Structures are given as C-alpha cells and as structure tokens.
Amino acid sequence: MAGAEEMKKYRSPLVSRYASKEMSYNFSDKKKFTTWRKLWIFLAKAEKALGLPITDAQIAEMESHAEDIDFAMAAEEERKLRHDVMAHVHTFAHCCPTAAPIIHLGATSCYVGDNTDLIALRDGFNILLPKLARVIDRLANFAEEYADLPTLGFTHFQPAQLTTVGKRACLWLQDLVMDVRNLERARDDLRFRGVKGTTGTQASFLQLFQGDHDKVVELDKMVTEMAGFKKAYLVTGQTYSRKVDIDCLSRLASLGASVHKICTDIRLLANLKEIEEPFEKEQIGSSAMPYKRNPMRAERCCSLARHLIALVADPLQTASVQWLERTLDDSANRRISLPESFLTADIILSTLQNITEGLVVYPKVIERHIRHELPFMATENIIMAIVKAGGNRQECHEKIRVLSQEAAAVVKQEGGDNDLLARIQRDPYFAPILGQLDALLDPKTFIGRAPQQVKTFLAEEVRPLLEPYKANMDVKVELAAHKVCVVQPACGPLLLVLLLVNQPRWREVITDEMKRD
C-alpha cells in the first residue's frame, strides 16, 4: 500500500488501479534506464569488436552494474545538469570508473532514448497480443456453443430478421481478428533506430573509425542485432520518424474501437436481459438500488477505450510539427501518450477477457423476445403457404396487413402481447394452413446460414490465427477484491486467496505474478 505522503500525490489510475504488472514494468523507470545501460554495453561491445581501444575489463565492469541504478544520484545529477541522458551517463560512470571514458562513445541522446522507446513498443505489442488472442479464444468458444441459438437481430436497434447468438459473436470476433493482424504488422514493421549520430548522418562514428564506412555500417548492424531487431531504419534525423508512433498508436486506437463496440453491444443486451457479464455473488450494482446488476466491466472497457481512441491524436500532431532533423517538443508528449496507450489497451483486454470467460446467456428471455416479434416476421412465409394452398397473394397480403395493424395497436397502445398469431388462427381465411403454422413459425427457419457461417469462420479464420498463441491460452483472468488476477490454473487459487487477504479495499489491478515454466 502507498504511504501517507504518497496518498497526497496524484497517481495515474492506469498504473495504481488498473494495469498489469508486466505492462507497468515495460514503461517503468527501472526498465527504461536498465535498457539505456544495456544499449551502452551493446555499443561498447560492437565498437571494441570493430577495433576501437576498449578493453574486456571495461565491458565487464559495465555489465556488472547494468542493473544497480542509483536513482537518487541520477535525480540529483539531472537537477544540476538539466539533461536526463547525461545525468545517467554520469551515474553509470560513477560506478564504472574504468569504463567511464567510453560510455556513450560517439552517441547522441536519441541513441538510448529512441532505441529504448522502440524496444518498449515492441515488447508492449508482445504483451498485448497473447491477451488479445485469449479474448478471441474465449469468444470463439462462446460463438461455437451458441452457433445455432436463434435471437432477434437488430438494425437501428429495432427488431430485424433473426440471427444467432453465435453469429453475433462472430461479428465481434471479425473485428478482433483484424486487430490481431494489425498489431502483429505494427510490431513486425518496427525497426531499430540504431547508431545514427546527432542528425542521422553517422558522422561521429565515421570519425571514430577514421572514415571506414564499412565499419560504421557493421556497427549499426551489430548493435541492432544485439537489441533483438532484424533491421534498422536506413535513414533517420536525430530521431526515428514520429510516423512510427502514429502507426503503433493508430492500431491500438482501432483495437479500442473494436472493444468499445463489443462492450456497447453487451451493455445493450444486458438491458434486454438476454446476455450478462459475470456478476459475483456479493457484488453490489448500485449503492441506492440493491436490485441492480450494472454491466460495470463493459462500462469500464468503454470508458477506457474512448481514452485509447483519443490518444492517437497526440502522435498525429507531434509528427506533423517536427522541424527539419528534430525538435524537442515531442518529448514530454511522448512520455505520456506512448505508455498510456499501451497501458490502456492492456487493461481493456484483461477486463474483456474476464467478461468473455463468464458471459451468461438467458435463452428463455431470448425466446420470449422472438415470440413477441416473430409473428410479424413470419407474414411472408404465411403468404407463400396460402398461395401454395391455392389462395390469392394480394388478397392474403391485405388480410395480414389489417390483422398486423390490429395486433400492433394492442402492443403499442394497450401494452399487450403480440396476438397476431391468435388473430390468424381465428380467421377462417387461414384454415387451409393452420396445421402448418408451428413449422412456419419455427425460429430456426429464419436464421438462414448463420450456424454454417459460424462453423466456417471459426475453422478458416479464427482457429488458425490462434495457433502461434496456443502456449498462452490457459491463463485466466479473475476479479478479486482490490485486484484482478491473471493466474495459472495450477497455482491461481493460492494467489487469489493471498490477494483477498492482503488487499481488502475494492480496487482492480491486473497482476501477472506467475509465469509458465
């Protein structure tokens, strides 16, 4: 728990209340500045390998202090120098006196700053993609289970032709499948900034290697590979193009749009009492109305999805106002927009996984709604049956039109049930087809190829997409008091108990304490 003094300061709820441990760490100071040190080590190793007078002892000294960052010293250095990179150069040099002369050799601030951002973006996508795959997996199972359960379709939120519960879930899945491909493309398109110097010309490195262009090219390649990237951008200014940030955050914003649509649908269906998100036994829906079962998880997803969608405006504007080789008015904005986009995407996926793992369907309510509307929808089938029995199409149409309007008046003006079927049964005109009415009104005759579409879509589009993520499918999200736990089946219950005991206040944070062996 935060101390009393910390409680007097604003804390972003994205971290203090919601985000997973792994995504929070991905954008933490610890990872950021540890990565800086690793990048300085990569640079020194490559420079040594290419002939610069750097010793094994200097590199070993740097490696031995890659993790033990004195943040207090770095803060004091930054207070004096007003430069974050040089503050950490001095702090690293303090514990590596032998290596001090060669730390950051030939580099500019963006060597550590931009390259670290690219690593965080890549790692952020790698955190999100398995979570998105799990949501798709849960929804696919849901769609398969309810592939042939008829339900009212809605256009303009007015009753329309029937579909199935599973087919509707496939509409959600289709958007999420697109999001997987978008996130994979954004991640795979990322390149390393590499070693480019102050304006991207690599002039400082060319000087270090006495005009040897091949060695400068090899230096860039070696450092890129050490950082885990296949390619570096061939041209940069001082920074990598800020359009890269647009590319990444626009994919996340698109994911936010998908989640908002899905969760809005769930909220609408919850109002109809056809589908509900999970609701714990002792959960309170309203402080004033004890009977309420508010769709609070779906509402949270919608709320955060709007924030995620809005964040893409930052890199769009930032990229548009970069001057020539670089300007520093991008920095403060990117410190907020990049982490917040990934943190927000992280929590909405974890929450959506929890929703999809516990969606509740009420077939009897769905059936009642169908019965209420189906007589109107079945009129064309009834007309065709009369014609087949020797009747006149226009005459039958007029009969049904009159009866339909009478039934509609009962529904709208008197608040009664739709009695069109009873009116048809009482009218002697329809006597030739009375024995067919049950078959004509079977909901499954109104769903077209929905079940077949579900089967084909899952088999051809969804299941193959999930293959690369099979090892991550067993992770489950559970809501507990104060925290949302991402747990493994073998040890999840123990973690859940510990969290319940140690964190009594209601707050939700995603933690991923346990990794696969």
| Residues annotated as part of the active site | 156, 286
How many Å apart are CA 483 and CA 495, to the nearest integer?
Answer: 11
**Positive or negative torsion for Cα 54, 57, 58, 63:** positive
Phi/psi-derived region of residue 426, left when phi > 0, alpha when psi is between -120 and 50, beta in every other case = alpha
* Phi, psi (rounded to 5 degrees) for 467: -55, -45
Angle between the N-to-C axes of helices 313-320 and 296-311, in degrees from 0 to 180, rounded to the nearest 10: 0
Per this entry, what is the length of the chain?
A: 517
Neighbours of 182 (CB within 10 A): 17
**Do the Cβ atoms of 38 and 103 come closer than 8 Å?**
no
- Identify the H or E element spanning 484: strand 484-487
Here the tokens at position 340 are 């917040």
**Do the Cβ atoms of 146 and 215 come closer than 8 Å?**
no
**Do the Cβ atoms of 149 and 164 come closer than 8 Å?**
yes
DSSP letters along 55-66, please?
-HHHHHHHHHTS
How many Å apart are CA 123 and CA 23, to the nearest integer?
Answer: 9
Here the tokens at position 195 are 């070693």
How many Å apart are CA 316 and CA 247, to the nearest integer?
Answer: 9
- For residue 36, the one-letter residue type is W
User: Using CA atoms in the order 119, 124, 127, 133, what is the torsion angle rounded to 10 degrees?
Assistant: -120
Helix (H, G, I), strand (E, B) or coil at 334: helix
**Do the Cβ atoms of 89 and 103 come closer than 8 Å?**
yes
**Do the Cβ atoms of 433 and 385 come closer than 8 Å?**
yes
